[in-house]
Amino acid sequence: MSLVTTLTYVLPHRLLSSLARALAYSDSPRTRRWLIDTVTRRFGVDLAEAAEPDPGAYPTFNAFFTRALKPGARVPDPDPRALLMPADGRISQCGPIEQGRIFQAKGRSFTAAELLGSEVAATPYADGLFATVYLSPKDYHRVHMPWTGRLRETVHVPGRLFSVGPGAVASVPRLFARNERLVCHFDTDFGPMAVVMVGALLVSGVETVWSGEEIPAYGDRIASKNWSGEEIVLERFEEMARFNYGSTVIVLLPAGVAELAPELKAETPVRLGQRLARLG
């Protein structure tokens, strides 16, 4: 285990994330310029595909980090039966949910019930499929719908804010089931679909298109919101949420409805809109 990962066990996660948030939303020209220049240079951010390619035009670092893309910069897979990749990034892991467990890294897994915060909610995904997508600092940080769905419920599951980088994923047991997260349950024409927005150290902000900022505020207990009466329907490829900074998104599908794209493996770079799976 790396020193940084070891330190995250004792660091004040929420305090550090709150301090990072203050910097991200600062309108100080010097702070904004330093943060944007540092991230752009260190991670090789491609601003040519951004709707606003001028880094000096963003009022805050967070506005830069959650930037929109030019029309046509990402397009959905043309196959009408294809479920879409929800974000830019790379595959952390993907595959079958085996006996209710989701693979994290060599020798490590966690249960779907732990991830979703409910044994009942996990039941439809027993023996289903999962895909875990890691968003790095250089990536587009908006998350889009894999398939058209009607929002039924969101569940804010409190937790820690460990890093979700490769080192932490390999060494922190049950990482994604321990970090603070927002579980979004959708009803689709093939059954239920869950999209889980996982927070992380310094990257713990989550907003949705239907209710705005969800994290922070940080939670002390599991909190559910029933949206079934609101008739919130989001179309395939439509934006659903964003990370204020970045993190990880996990998609869960029921058994027998789709097959994952065969080229997807751990560490595969992916782009929003490419094929994640295909309905059977």
Residues involved in catalysis:
88, 144, 247
Q: DSSP readout, the chain?
A: --HHHHHHTTS-HHHHHHHHHHHHT---HHHHHHHHHHHHHHHT--GGGBSS--GGG-SSHHHHHTPPBPTTSS---S-TTEEEP-SSEEEEEEEE-BTTEEEEETTEEEEHHHHHT-HHHHGGGTT-EEEEEEPPTTS--EEE-SS-EEEEEEEEE--B----SHHHHHHSTTHHHHB-EEEEEEEETTEEEEEEEE--TT--EEEETTTEEEESSPPSS-EEEE-TTS--EE-TT-EEEEEES--EEEEEE-TTSEEE-TT--TT-EE-TTSEEEEE-
**Residue 212 burial (CB count, 10 A):** 7
Only one residue has tokens 């009607």, namely 150
Rounded CA-CA distance 177/185 in Å is 16
Long-range contacts of 49-54 (CB under 8 A, 24+ apart): 49/73
Q: What's CA 34's distance to the chain center, in Å?
A: 26
